[in-house]
Structure 1
Amino acid sequence: MSKPPPAEAARARALLSATARSGRARLARPILLGLASIACGIAQAWLIATVLATLLGHGTAGWAELAGAASLALLSIALGVAQEAAQADAGAAARAGLRRRAFARLLRAGPADERPVGERATLVVDRIEALDGYFSRWLPAAALAVAGPLLIAIAVAAEDPLSGLILFVAGAMVPVGMAVTGIGAALASRQQFDALQALSGRFLDRMRGLPQLVLFRRQEAEAEALAAAADELRRRTMRVLRVAFLSGLVLEVIFAAVLGCLAWRHGNLLVGGHPAPQAALFCLLMVPGFFAPLRAFSAAYHERMAANGAAAALAPLLEGPDEEEGLQLAEIPPSVVVTFEHVALTYDPARGPALTDLTFRVLPGEALVLAGPSGSGKSSVLRLLMGFHAPDGGRIALNGRDATTLRPAELRRLSAYVGQKAHLFRASIRENILLARPDATPAEVEAAARAAHVAEFAAALPQGLDTLVGEGGFGLSGGQAQRVAIARAFLRNAPLVLLDEPTAHLDPGTEAQVLDSLRRLCAGRTAIIATHSPALRARFSRVLELEQGRATLSRMAGE
């Protein structure tokens, strides 16, 4: 894979920077605690150097210095524990904020987001989870890698300027080594995330279609394909680890060189000729402390590379304002007049227009049936009215006002939608109906269930409306699940009803029952129905024929 384009890398950096700024207060705590721990380490090293110099016959240190060093060691441990907790808190807060934003954006986009379900799940779970190290380890480590060694080098330079200079030079060499290895780390990490996303999306899609794979005897071939994808992820993960080990090796080489230089500088300490043995011991003792923040920086460096790859995928989703643009409704109007005036819509120029010069009007109490072959634009009309797309041309008006001035969420408040396949969640029938209006009373839920003929089959179930339904409606037939969806529409009680193939895949007997519920649902409301069903077209008087996004025929029943 090639290097990410500069624009994509810039968007990733902008997302990470904005998230870091929003959590500035949480990120400051681990940095301050880390600096306090380093200050304790400096004081502790000085006391230990004093004690060691006394043991070598220089100075008069005693139990007080030894007790002070032990107390500082305990304090440093406590500060380290507090720093770890503060880092974990900063990472958790950043991930929670990003996940809320990403989930809200996915919900706002709805069916307009054409990414596979597996890819969307990977974005919200794996990609955001990969950013934890950036906020909990990398940012604190980067700040401490600058402030901590600088503080220690100044303390060492105060005792021996040449030793301090050696530490300054070593500290400047570490970022150079990290930058050299970081180029490969960024590419390897991005490749790893691409492989993880491909594997996650494929696995979820195949699990959903497992019955078809078994029926067509493709399970073994698909298992081999998944194994190949998993092996590709393994190989790319190992590349990331190799780069991480390489960056650690660079730091160890610099550490060994610094320790050798200082040992040569203060080597005559062992033969008793050093003019300042306490200062020499202090300089040597501070070498591990000097490199400790740099080690943490090196260990967390691959976290930054991984975060860049994850943020590059998240940035397009999270760009733009969190709040939707447009007007909000003060209240839901009791009725809605829908007007399309020369409306045009194109999803992809290569596929041609979905709608072209479409004009119609639907009054309260009317039901307009949109008929035509698949791909003629029926569902596109419903998507426009639900705010999942905006028209490229023409005008959509609700009660005479431009619908595009409203927030998309406000358009959805005006409508009740029933699709061709109801999605039921793992919950009771009552809870699935309540999804349409969570604040509804039990009496309102039961009334909606009766209106949609749900009460009829629920009476034969063990717990009635409180009977648990499996994921995807497991335990109910297709017609029963569709009636639950219609009950949701009754409970929502919106002035605009949008139906998209509501009787598809139903047998004639079940279709007749569902049609009766739909007719009562549409009574007194503005209804737009996309369908192929001859029975549904016969039940409603007004039909608009569509072909290739154009209205070819508009007729009333009996014409």
Structure 2
Amino acid sequence: MEGPRGGAAARLLRQESRALRARVLPPVLLGLAASLAGLCGAWLVARVVAALLGHGDAGWAELAAAGALALLVAALGLVQEGTQLAAGEAARARLRGAAFARLLALGPADPRGVGERASLVIDRVEALDGYFARWLPAAALAMLVPVLVFLAVLWADWHAALVLGLAGLLYPVAMALTGIGAAAASRRQFEALERLSGRFLDRLRGLATLVLFNRQEAEAEALAESAHELRQRTMRVLRIAFLSGTAMELLAAGAIACIAWRRGGGGGDPTAGIFALLAVPAFFAPLRAFAAAYHERLAASGAATALAPLLLAPSGEGLVLETMPPRVVVTFTDVRLSYDPARPPALDGLSFRVNAGETLVLAGPSGAGKSSVLRLLMGFVRPEAGRIAINGQDALSLKPEELRRLSSYVGQKPHLFRGSIRENIRYARPEATPAQVEAAAEAARVTGFAAALPQGLDTEVGEGGWGLSGGQAQRVALARAFLRDTPLVLLDEPTAHLDPGTEAEVMESLQRLCLGRTAIIASHSGMRGRLGRVLEIEGGRVAGPGRQAQA
């Protein structure tokens, strides 16, 4: 498993590197310019020092030029750092947007837990920042700058260039010795972080249940063990990074010692020797930055291993709707669906037909397969056998996103985001005009309770709809469905957990929403026969002939 996973991670990093090439190139060019200016400054300083020793005629002009070049190097370094930060921000934005869009497209079909999804979008993407901001520029400069410095020293003193070349050849050996097992250690660190994040979030959400069964102490100990494991793995990765830095310092010190020892006993003009000594830090500076950024590559490798299955997975293929049909007819023919081979199928030869403008209520006990029908129509799962047709055409030939364009979905627990009521309604169709948003709110009777709020539709609500009752949040969800204005409406227990008075108001809005649209409603009680034809489902198949509900 490690081979394919590592190959997918490398493929993802290569793909993103190509996409962000324009962002990574400026830091490299600025680094090259700073190195060239530094070499010129080093040559001028060498001439000034040689003149102080009685060789040459360098003076204040050379010293002033060297100072100006030093300021230029500092300015280029600041600009380079800014472009590196910009490259990292661009990479994070691109990867986080792609990961979030992919998770939204998968929807309920994604088997990952909430904690693992949050870790992917936040922690894993954050770990890739250093790969684009520091590692890629450092890797490019580590290949280009030492060659530039070597050629400059070769022009001045070929013996010193030979020493630098030998030190440069020993560098990959030192990195290989210190980097054995580093990628695996970083990957294990991120796996430990993912487990800890997921466990903490899941236990936090189920804290009331843990307290009810008196398991809070045991879970606290388990979290402490996971945190200790993460701490150990993080320190192991840091030790590897420090070892690579130590090897680099030893090579640089050895090169300086060899050059100084050779030039120490010689006579003549010392300019070339002084320049060679000053060029040693310039030779090793990009290699030192490369070694310092090496752990960024390790972290990125571990993060990409987790992100690759999500980002490199083939997107849903299929046809795209040219125009939105005004009315739809939905037909299920011997549809079969299983989530787990070890368990009975969710749908076992289900067949029914919903005509255009008709409302069908799927009634039955929990596990009968009602929600599976809605998932199939939204493209979150695909049947194993059978045919699903929309207006007589195979619905499975459409892209999953196109299936979701056809429908408006309202569940029993709609989620509201932190923001105003108006913004939560507009979430269904961001391009809608203010008049369309207000019309949808009026149709769902949102304006009725919003008028009593301090700022009407612009009243702020908290994450999860904090500040609104369950019935009010349900009406906001219905307003979203009115705003989408799709030919197909899918409802999953829309009146569950509502008191009789609120349920009556929501039912009135539901009747208005379903009027003229094809609607499929999943309900335990059959909505008491108030919306349309009722089809009893049990064990994934029709339990008996559908009956026409009486008004």
Aligned residue for 2:498? Answer: 506
Where structure 1 has 5 or more consecutive residues not aligned to the other structure, the ranges are none
Q: How does 1:419-498 map to 2 (within 5 A)?
A: 419-498=411-490
- What code does the residue aligned with 1:47 have? L
Measured in 2, the distance between the counterparts of 1:116 and 1:395 equals 31
Correspondence for 2:547: 556
2:464 match: secondary structure: helix
TM-fit CA distance, 1:162: 2.6
Relative to structure 2, which stretch is displaced further, 281-290 or 503-512? 503-512
Aligned to 2:321: 329
Contact residue 373 and residue 547 of structure 1 kept, 8 A: yes
SS in 2 for 1:199: helix
Name the residue aligned to 1:547: 538
Instruction: Output the CA distance in 1 between the equivalents of 2:290 and 2:454.
Output: 60
Residue-by-residue CA offset, 1:150-207 (whole Å, 9 max, x unaligned)? 1111222223323212211211211222223223321221122112222222333333
Task: Say yes or no: does 1:517 pair with 2:509.
Answer: yes
User: Which residue does 1:36 correspond to in 2?
Assistant: 33
1:340-379: CA deviations, max 9, x gaps?
1222223333445332322211101222222233222211
Q: Distance in 1 between matches of 2:273 and 2:447?
A: 88
Q: CA deviation at 1:219?
A: 4.5
How many Å apart are 1:312 and its aligned residue?
A: 0.8
Q: C-alpha distance in 2, partners of 1:459/1:245? A: 63
How high is the TM-score relative to the length of structure 2?
Answer: 0.94
- Separation in 1, partners of 2:111, 2:375: 13
Tell me the secondary structure at the aligned position of residue 554 of structure 1: coil
Which runs of 5 or more residues in structure 2 are unaligned? Answer: none
Among 100, 103, 114, the alignment partner of 1:103 is 100
Structure 1 pair 193–282 and aligned structure 2 pair: CA distance change class (3 A): same
Number of residue pairs matched by the alignment: 550
Instruction: Tell me, yes or no, if the aligned pair for 2:379 and 2:403 is still in contact at 8 Å.
Output: yes
Please list, as runs of the form range in 1=range in 2, the aligned pairs for 1:44-443 lying within 5 A after superposition.
Answer: 44-213=41-210, 218-268=215-265, 273-320=266-313, 325-443=317-435
- CA deviation string 1:53-107 (max 9, x = no partner): 2222222222222222212211111121121122222222222211221121112
Task: Give the structure-1-normalised TM-score.
Answer: 0.92
Does the aligned pair in 1 maintain the 2:533–2:549 contact within 8 Å? no
Mapped to 1, the partners of 2:290 and 2:279 lie a distance apart of 18
Contact 1:131 1:306 in 2 (8 A): yes
Query: Alpha carbons of 1:409 and 1:219: their partners in 2 closer, same or farther (altered >3 Å)?
Result: same
Give yes or no for contact 1:248–1:299 (8 Å, CA) kept in 2. Answer: yes
Q: Report the RMSD for the aligned CA atoms in angstroms.
A: 2.3
Change (3 A) 1:352 1:256: farther
Spell out, residue by residue over 1:296-346, the C-alpha distance to the aligned partner (whole angstroms, 9 max, x if none). Answer: 011001100000001111111111567x53333233222100011222223
* SS of match in other structure, 1:545: strand
Contact 2:55 2:269 in 1 (8 A): no
For 1:397 and 1:296, locate their aligned partners in 2 and report how far apart those are by CA, in whole Å. Answer: 60
* Aligned equivalents of 2:107, 2:236: Cα separation in 1: 36
Partner Cα separation in structure 2 for residue 554 and residue 173 of structure 1 = 81
Q: Deviations over 1:390-417 (max 9, x none)?
A: 2232221111111122222221121111
Whichever residue aligns with residue 43 of structure 1, its letter is C
Cα distance in 1 for residues equivalent to 2:140 and 2:440: 59
Report the CA distance between 1:511 and its aligned residue: 3.0
- The letter of the residue matching 1:299 is A
* Deviations 1:412-462 (CA, angstroms, capped at 9, x unpaired): 121111111111122222332222233444454444334434344334333
Contact (CA 8 Å) 1:141, 1:293: kept in 2 or not? yes
Q: Distance in 2 between matches of 1:251 and 1:370?
A: 70
The SS at the match of 1:488 is helix
Equivalent residue letter for 1:280: G
> 1:282 is aligned with what amino acid?
F
How far did residue 148 of structure 1 move?
A: 0.9
**Change in CA separation of 1:507 and 1:218 when aligned onto 2, cut-off 3 Å:** farther
Q: CA deviation at 1:220?
A: 4.6
CA 1:514 to 1:216, structure 2 compared with 1: closer, same or farther past 3 Å? farther
Secondary structure at 2:534 match in 1: strand
Q: How does 1:528-539 map to 2 (within 5 A)?
A: 528-534=520-526, 536-539=527-530
C-alpha distance in 1, partners of 2:446/2:191?
Answer: 45
One-letter amino acid matched to 2:6 = A
| 8 A Cα contact 1:542 1:554, kept in partner | no
Contact in 1 for aligned 2:334/2:349 (Cα 8 Å): yes
Q: Using the TM superposition, give the Cα deviation of residue 211 of structure 1 relative to its aligned residue in structure 2, in angstroms.
A: 4.4
User: Contact 2:471/2:506 (CA < 8 Å) preserved in 1?
Assistant: yes
